[in-house]
Structure formats: C-alpha cells, structure tokens
Amino acid sequence: METIFQSIEILSKEKGIDPKIILDAVKDAMLVAARKHFRTTEDLVADFDEQSGAIQIYGVRRVVTEVTDPDKEISLEEAREIVAPRATRCRRSGRRASSWTP
C-alpha cells in the first residue's frame, strides 16, 4: 500500500511542485477536516511522520495559572495529569507530549 508521502513525491515530480508545498497543503486540509469533524476552535497542529506516512493531529494549549479560554489554555494541574508529574510549562513547538519541559 502506498503512503501519503509516496503519493506526494509522485505528484510533485509529475507537476514540478516542491513536495513540501504539497505536504503543507495536505496537512492544512487535514486540520480543516479535523476542526469541522470535532467542531472545535482549539488550536490544532498537524505532524507528518515520513517513515509511517501517518499524519497526526494534536491540540495545542498553553499552560496557565488561571484558565480563561478552555479551548486554548489548560491549568498546570491538568497538564501534569496528562503529561508528566514534573511538567511546568509547554513550548509551542507543535510536537507531541514530549514538547512539555520538566
């Protein structure tokens, strides 16, 4: 079975388009579809794994002392429960939970 990345490579060669441009368009389309499917205003990030060909969608929230916007913020206590007991802040890098810094 062909991966998305292989299809992108083929399309980029056929059309003479940089594969990164096509990949970015695919990720943007996936983000739009995810927002519609989940009916959310949460900040989402798409991450592409070249080895598996999978595109994963992550919600990104800022860790704050007092949550005023639940779609964009999360309390430190909630973050610790989700990620790790020693998490203190999040770098907005678009990475998986490993982007949390102890």
Which residue bears the tokens 């002392």? Answer: 65
Q: What is the pLDDT of residue 22?
A: 93
Predicted local confidence at residue 95, as pLDDT: 41
**CA gyration radius, the chain:** 17
What pLDDT is stored for residue 15 in this prediction?
A: 95
pLDDT of 96 reads 43
Q: Residue 42 has which token pair?
A: 């949460």
Beta partners for 54? 49
What residue type is assigned to position 41 of the chain?
T
User: 46-50, 56-60, 80-84 — which is least confidently predicted?
Assistant: 80-84
The verdict on pTM exceeding 0.85 is no
Nearest to 48 by CA among 92, 7, 1: 7
Over 70: is that where the pLDDT of 101 sits? Answer: no
